[in-house]
Chains A and B, each alone.
Chain A
Amino acid sequence: MLRIEDASKNFRRKQVLKGVSCEFQNGVYGLLGPNGAGKTTLFRCILNLYPYQGTIVLDSEEGGQIPLIGYLPQKMGVFPNLTVEEQLRYFANLKEIRKEDVADEIDRVLQLTNLSEVRKVKGRKLSGGMVRRVGIAQALLNHPALIIFDEPTTGLDPEERMRFKNLLREIGKESIVLLSTHIVEDVEAVCDRILILKDGCLAAKGTQEEISHIADGLVYEVSKDDVLSEDYIEKEREADGEMHFRILTRRQLPDSLLQKPNVEDGYLCVLKEI
């Protein structure tokens, strides 16, 4: 279990995290928030890279001790002259995996990330998506109790994204998986629970249904003439030669225009304070 209690972090005078508290059991958790909301800062506090106020405890160990954490940073490079397998051997050494387990562990993560066929390919020949998969593979080494993915799907093609989502569901059965992204669709596809960070505060948390319910009675589809400046336009689409707008509004409109809310609607309601 990962427990965060009243975690705060300041950068000089700017408070980037403001008393975040939450608990995580095994499962996939999506951390949503706009740029600068504090997602990466929260991750770095969990990884003990930043000093922080409050308590962060993983499996009854204090934050100073880092038992088994897998981490995929937002940006990651590879050695141009090392093969995929060698890069993973390097990370296995960093993670202090026992010598006799290294080969099996590498085989396992290569298979999980669909990189077995390119295990002998050098870093300089890898595409951006493959580099990302090497990053995912190194995070999975040694069966970590907590795995943190910071914007993991960036650079992955649709097929690999789908594969990654399936993989997340699998590893979420045995580990705590924290996933930060601004692609709501990814979160909807795999996350058991969702946390929304806004200006360093935990603005909302809950299951997908609970987040969707935040926008109950606020989502409408209207024609162009019915849109007012106070409405938040979420999407627009053309049908029968006419533009239709999906809006979030506190106004009372006819029930016939009311739409069933989804996670994105809930997220936007929290973000835009509708």
Chain B
Amino acid sequence: MRIKRNIARNLKNIYWQLKGIGIFNLAPVLGLYVLIPLANLAAYGMGHDMDYLYVNIVKQCQIFCPILSVWYVIFVLEHCIEEPGNELLYIRHRNKLPELLLCYLTFQILLLPLFAVYTGMFPDLWWLYLKLCVIQLLYLGLAYFTAFLCRKITISVLAVLCYSISTVMAATIEVQGISYYKVIVNQGTDLVRELIPFALAAGVMLIGGCICNYYFPMRK
């Protein structure tokens, strides 16, 4: 009962916070349902080749989805960290992770219709959806940890952008380790093996974020 009440409260908090940012809350929707499909259509229009379209979907999703997934998270974090009088937000509930996880889940739900279409064309793209779920959790952890550690949302945004750019660059020069960006989608145990380091990194970031979040009001 208490969990249900807390979820309802956190969802309402997110609702008001996202309503408060006005038209900016449309960016992930536009990104997912305008930007990525247009890029896919352009790719298909260039060659009328389904293989080329498949590769394009895999590439575009890995580039844009993780960044778009932290869009709401960044705005919620900005409100918690840089808003004047933000101490009000820490009086009753200090931990902001539940709200951020709900933002993450909201984005995963937004992503579902897009992947329903993709898997209608290429059934194995469900594996890409699973991969993105883990990678987006890593992005959430990175944004959460850096924002509360540095107490500056710009640093958090820069960290996310730098990681996103470096992961694409690292893939092009074939540096393994930090990059999740691949043109083929692993399946089954191969995918699990590929994602374990990213899931572990996400866990570490989230725990680090929780610790910095706890001490945040005390450091003001």
| Chain B positions 176 through 212: 1 when the CB is less than 8 Å from some CB of chain A, otherwise 0 | 0000000000000000000000000000000000000
A-side interface residues toward B, CB under 8 Å? 44, 47-51, 66, 69, 71, 73-77, 79-82, 86, 89-91, 93-96, 123, 135, 138
Contacts of A47 in B (CB 8 A): 87, 91
Assess the A96–B9 pair: CB atoms within 8 A.
yes
Given A49-B218, A80-B20, A81-B20, answer yes or no on A71-B13 (Cβ-Cβ < 8 Å).
no
Is A93 a contact partner of B88 (Cβ separation < 8 A)?
no
Is B13 a contact of A81 with CB atoms below 8 Å? no
Q: What is the chain B residue whose CB lies nearest that of A95?
A: B92
Given A81-B21, A86-B19, A96-B9; A73-B84 close (CB under 8 Å): yes
Contacts of B87 in A (CB 8 A): 44, 47, 49, 71, 73
Asked whether any CB of chain A lies closer than 8 Å to the CB of B149, the reply is: no
Q: How many A-B residue pairs have CB under 8 A?
A: 72
Number of B residues whose C-beta is below 8 Å from A? 22
In the complex, the chain B residue whose C-beta lies closest to that of A139 is B88
A215 CB to nearest B CB, Å: 36
Interface pair A86/B16, CB less than 8 Å apart: yes
Chain A positions within 8 Å of B93 at CB level: 94
A69 closest partner in B (C-beta): B91
- Most chain B beta carbons < 10 A, residue from A69, A77, A123: A77
Query: Interface on B for A, CB 8 Å cutoff?
Result: 9, 12-13, 16-17, 19-22, 83-85, 87-93, 217-218, 220
Shortest beta-carbon distance, B1 to chain A, in Å?
A: 14
Whether B13 lies near A93 (C-beta < 8 A) is yes
B215 to chain A, nearest CB (A): 10
Q: Give the CA-CA distance A146 to B87 in the complex, in Å.
A: 17
Contact of A76 with B84 at beta-carbon distance under 8 Å, contacts A47-B91, A94-B92, A95-B92 already known:
yes
- A80 to B22, Cβ gap below 8 A? yes
- Are A51 and B88 closer than 8 Å at their CB atoms? no
CB distance from A61 to the nearest CB of B (A): 14
Chain B: minimal CB distance from A17 (Å) = 14
* Chain B residues with CB under 8 A of A80: 20, 22
Decide yes or no: A77 and B83 within 8 Å by CB, A49-B217, A71-B91 being known contacts. Answer: yes
Q: Which of B19, B91, B218 touches A82 (beta carbons < 8 Å)?
A: B19
Q: Are A73 and B88 in contact (CB under 8 A)?
A: yes
